[in-house]
């Protein structure tokens, strides 16, 4: 069965070109860049090039790039590394809609005596910057706010936030895992102090990422060990994946335009098509400020998990905004924070596209999804109640 893949915010296919770049570093160029011999040394050259390739995409200096084992490590390192560098400050500000790689770290910090402020969002998933301004004080060590939300695609006004936070003398970190390769960045012109990215969201393998730390930023290493990454992250470098991430970043820079034109247009066609074909469908998140590849839709009065299973039987991959834990289908923390009503949150599905999606993929889902929703609504008691109530006026 052919796979129609609409789950690129979960992970992406490794680009063939990236795979080719990685291959030699397993069996041919397998030296350790810390070795004294030339065989190892030549591998160090590839790390330097990868650092430049990543820096090229981010618009920063190569020395500001630290390779990590992925987005989760970068987020942990950013928060723990800044807190360790400013030990006299005990407050952290974040948002209620962060990825667990940030939120769980912040909640753990509360157990260690930190004050953690989680900013709320409105029904469109937007932050209130006045609330952030009010919370910034002399005790605030770091503010960590995601660039764009992985579930809804809502993009926060990060440059404005970075200006606001840093002008108060507070360090600012952003989780840009869903943004890099989708929105142009120029960190040399930005007040962002630290930024996380993850390789597997931009067609590099899983298990490789980057933490950008602006030159001069107070930061203590999170993984302590050898002298690698100038002592900022110990551990023998994952050369194959570093090479792959470098290549992926170079390719992402070339594909930025396509992400914002062709991919955006496919996403819009999908969204419009589903809204036209399926009644009682809502778009989750701010339509004015969204990633070009993402749409989160709520099909009212049906369960997201059932939709996903039926799509999966047809080879269509998407994801839902609820997590099946201990038998109860709880809407995600993001949809709950937005106050999406129960009947909509339960039927939410995220479609996230990439440059590998085609018009045929969109046609296929526009043909297949409406009858699935109709069938599920036929057996939904909530839908029956809704139809009855609306016919009674």
Binding residues (CB under 6 A) for ligand PLP: these are: 70-72, 75, 99, 101, 146, 150, 175, 177-178, 198, 200, 209
Residue 356 beta carbon to ligand PLP: minimum distance, rounded to whole angstroms:
18
Residue matched to tokens 């924070």: 337
Question: Beta strands 194-198 and 209-213: pairing type?
Answer: antiparallel
Smallest separation, CB 21 to ligand PLP (Å): 19
Closer CB to ligand PLP, residue 208 or residue 345? 208
Give CA–CA dist 390/187, Å, rounded: 52
Nearest approach in angstroms of CB 76 to ligand PLP is 9
The pair of three-digit structure tokens given for residue 101, joined into one six-digit string: 């790689």
Q: CA 314 from chain center: how many Å? A: 26
Specify the residue, 245 or 274, whose C-beta has the smaller distance to ligand PLP.
Answer: 245
Nearer to ligand PLP, 46 or 201 (CB): 201
Nearer of residues 95 and 140 to ligand PLP, judged by Cβ: 95
Minimum gap (Å) between residue 200 Cβ and ligand PLP:
6
Q: Which of 60, 106, 249, 324 is catalytic?
A: 324
Q: Per-residue DSSP letters for 354-389?
A: -TT--HHHHHHHHHHHHHHHHHHHHT-HHHHHHHHH
Active site (annotated) includes residue 249:
no
DSSP symbols for 16-43: HHHHHHHTHHHHTS---TTSSSHHHHHH
H helix or E strand, kind and range, residue 228: none
**Smaller CB distance to ligand PLP: residue 206 or 264?**
206
| Residue 230 φ/ψ region, left for φ over 0, alpha for ψ in the -120 to 50 degree band, beta for the rest | left
Beta carbon of residue 333, minimum distance to ligand PLP (angstroms, whole number): 13
Q: Which residue is nearest to ligand PLP (CB)?
A: 71
Q: Which residues are catalytic?
A: 324
């Amino acid at each position: 069965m052919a796979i129609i893949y609409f789950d690129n915010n979960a992970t992406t296919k490794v680009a063939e070109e990236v795979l080719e770049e990685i291959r030699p570093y397993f069996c041919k160029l397998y030296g350790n860049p810390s070795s004294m011999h030339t065989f190892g040394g030549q591998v160090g050259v590839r790390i330097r090039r990868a650092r430049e390739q990543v820096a090229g995409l981010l618009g920063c200096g190569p020395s500001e790039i630290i390779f990590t084992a992925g987005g989760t490590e970068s987020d942990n390192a950013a928060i723990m590394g800044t807190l360790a560098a400013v030990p006299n400050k005990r407050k952290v500000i974040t948002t209620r809609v962060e990825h667990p790689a940030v939120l769980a770290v912040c909640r753990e910090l509360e157990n260690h005596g930190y004050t953690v402020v989680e900013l709320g969002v409105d029904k469109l998933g937007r932050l209130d910057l006045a609330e952030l301004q009010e919370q910034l004080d002399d005790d605030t060590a770091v503010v960590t706010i995601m660039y764009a939300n992985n579930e809804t695609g809502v993009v926060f006004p990060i440059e404005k936030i970075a200006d606001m936070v840093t002008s108060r003398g507070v360090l600012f970190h952003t989780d840009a895992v869903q943004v890099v390769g989708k929105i142009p960045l120029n960190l040399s012109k930005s007040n962002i102090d630290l930024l996380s990215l993850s390789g597997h969201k931009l067609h590099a393998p899983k298990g490789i990422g980057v933490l950008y730390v602006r030159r001069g930023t107070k930061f203590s290493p999170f993984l302590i060990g050898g002298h690698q990454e100038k002592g900022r992250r110990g551990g023998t470098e994952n050369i194959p994946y570093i090479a792959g991430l470098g290549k992926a970043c170079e390719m992402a820079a070339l594909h930025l335009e396509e992400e914002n034109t062709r991919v955006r247009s496919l996403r819009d066609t999908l969204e419009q098509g589903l809204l036209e074909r399926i009644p009682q469908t809502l778009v989750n998140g701010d339509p004015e400020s969204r990633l070009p590849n993402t749409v989160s839709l709520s099909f009212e009065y049906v369960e997201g998990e059932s939709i996903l299973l039926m799509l999966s039987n047809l080879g269509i991959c998407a994801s839902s905004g609820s997590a099946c834990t201990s038998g109860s289908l709880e809407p995600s923390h993001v949809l709950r924070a937005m106050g999406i009503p129960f009947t909509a949150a339960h039927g939410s599905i995220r479609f996230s596209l990439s440059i590998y999606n085609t018009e045929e993929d969109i046609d296929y889902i526009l043909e297949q999804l409406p009858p699935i929703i109709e069938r599920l609504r036929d057996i939904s008691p909530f839908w029956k109640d809704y139809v009855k109530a609306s016919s009674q006026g």
